[in-house]
Amino acid sequence: MTSRPADRIEPEQSRIAINTTPTRSFGSALRAARRDRGLSLGQLAQLVNYSKSHLSRVETEGKAPTDMLARRCDEVLRTDGLLSGLVDAGRSGRRGPSLNQLPRAVPGLVGRASTMSALDRTLHLPGARRDSAECTVVVVDGQAGIGKTSTALNWAHSVARQFPDGVLFADLGGFGPGAPADTADVLRHFMASLGGQVDAEVPAEHLAARYRSLMTGRRVLIMLDNAADPGQVRPLLPAAGGCHVLVTSRDRLSGLVVRDGAERVTVPPMTKDEAVRLLEAVARPWFDRSAAPDIAQSCGYVPLALRVAAENIAGWHQSPFDGLGGGSDEATTLRTVLSWSYRKLAPAAANALQRLAVTGGETVSPATAADLLGTGVNEAHALLDALAEIHLLHQVAPGAYRLDQLTAAFSAELNETRPLRPAPDGFHSQVRRLPDSRAPQPPVRNQDGVLGDTALTFQNQR
């Protein structure tokens, strides 16, 4: 009930309040935006999960705002990142890195507050858990089209100032139309960027050693986007303490977590409210809010599918949309990006994905899958885990897996072009006796979606 007054205030009104505030300080801008939203200090404190006394000191300039607080206030007050901008502007005398290879971040991140907070915690862990002599590695994983790259890029830009020795970026091409990037080429690119000597004849393992030496004593942020597997990433990990490596992939990269001590931040589908906001932002003025919940559900709350659907509404809104395709550019559809994951599968796993289409999104146990696949239970379990590793299948509980609706639709399409034998008798009744696949799932750490030009954001929605 505390958010009702805010719902009647448009983001533009908060923006006007900030832009016309005489002092341009963070505290006064926060106070003006809060009052324009009709919120008391106590109400805002509840919404941003900070104490009232803390916010009072920030508003009265008695305490400096943090990046996390500014970001949370931007989201709650819908000030389009202006408060975060004031935090940056207030850091007089603090310059950003001279080397910054990050691509442009698409502005207007929708939601994802918990994702950004989780990433913040990997940089500022409480207590003494993080050894300053260690390099921090963070895996940002999630299904195709969920917005891993856009989330990671927005966060990386927000913390780039904390890495005075530079920010490196490489698209590893793990899932895409071409071959993955060669690790040796990426090493040479990084070393040249840092001013090191690069010899084209040096083998990759020796290049990796030189790269680690070059990174000694430096505080650098490294973003490795769209990684194929842990083996592609490991040579690119510096040993230097103070460095921070952000790796995005639709593969869970479990080897990096187990062997290299990486942290994991998984990007989930958007919430219903976030999905509606994204549709509204892209499709307006043709947006029919009454139809939004059905459209969002048909898109599985996946940002890429939502953006394509919204573009359909804005451009040729009479055209049908199935969640997988839409538009004239097939390279920007969820069907295409899912096909990149499918091509990575071993034949047995690809076969399993097609056969699981008959489950209709219900949960499946390894024993039930074994009957469907014609394998032993252990082999079926391994195949289910292989699909879950690259987010083509969701493990909703120990021993229970399911396809999301869009991946199930993609799998059904595969069956039309590559017919398989029918499911065995009694399979569907076995599926229905399993735990409800739509039961609440364990909590995850993030939420997300991106506003901006569709053509610019596709590469960030992988």
For residue 91, count other CB atoms closer than 10 A to its CB: 11
Q: Is the pLDDT of residue 373 over 60?
A: yes
Q: How far apart are CA 308 and CA 326, in angstroms?
A: 6
Q: Which two tokens stand for residue 95?
A: 């310059």
The CB-side HSE value for 61 (13 A sphere, CA atoms) comes to 7
Rounded mean pLDDT, 215-225: 92
For 428, the 3-state DSSP assignment is: helix
Candidate from 152-166, 213-227, 365-379, 426-440 with smallest mean pLDDT: 426-440
For 191, the 3-state DSSP assignment is: helix
Q: CA-CA distances (angstroms) from residue 3 to 18, 39, 46?
A: 20, 8, 10
Q: CA-CA distances (angstroms) from residue 159 to 92, 116, 227?
A: 16, 11, 22
For 396, the 3-state DSSP assignment is: strand
**For the ranges 103-112, 121-130, 281-290, 315-324, the one whose mean pLDDT is highest:** 103-112
Q: Is 10 exposed, middle or buried (0-12, 13-18, 19+ CB in 10 A)?
A: exposed
Q: How far apart are CA 188 and CA 185, in angstroms?
A: 5
CA 41 from centre of chain: 31
CA 129 from centre of chain: 25
Rounded mean pLDDT, 8-16: 39
Q: Is 35 exposed, middle or buried (0-12, 13-18, 19+ CB in 10 A)?
A: middle
Partners of 249 in the beta sheet?
141
The CB-side HSE value for 309 (13 A sphere, CA atoms) comes to 28
pLDDT at site 318: 47
Give 3's pLDDT tier (boundaries 50, 70, 90). very low
The percent of residues above 70 in pLDDT, for the chain, comes to 74
Q: CA-CA distances (angstroms) from residue 388 to 254, 401, 411?
A: 11, 8, 14
What's the predicted TM-score (pTM) here? 0.66
pLDDT digits (tens, 9 = 90+) for 389-448: 888 888 888 888 888 878 878 877 777 666 555 545 444 444 444 443 333 333 333 333
Q: Is 313 in contact with 287 (CB distance < 8 Å)? A: yes
Q: CA-CA distances (angstroms) from residue 212 to 185, 218, 235, 363?
A: 15, 10, 9, 45
Q: How far apart are CA 226 and CA 228, in angstroms?
A: 7
For residue 279, the one-letter residue type is L
Q: Is the pLDDT of residue 235 over 70?
A: yes
Q: How far apart are CA 208 and CA 205, in angstroms?
A: 5
Partners of 245 in the beta sheet?
137, 222
Residue among 204, 214, 265 nearest 238 (CA): 214
Give 93's pLDDT tier (boundaries 50, 70, 90). very low
- Mean pLDDT across the chain, nearest whole number? 76
**For the ranges 54-58, 89-93, 289-293, the one whose mean pLDDT is highest:** 54-58
Q: Is the pLDDT of residue 279 over 80?
A: yes
DSSP 238-300: ---TT-EEEEEESS--HHHHHHH--EEEE--PPPHHHHHHHHHHHHTTS--GGGHHHHHHHTT
Q: How far apart are CA 254 and CA 231, in angstroms?
A: 11
Q: Is 460 in contact with 140 (CB distance < 8 Å)? A: no
Q: What 3 state SS string does 195-216 have? A: CCCCCCCCCHHHHHHHHHHHHC
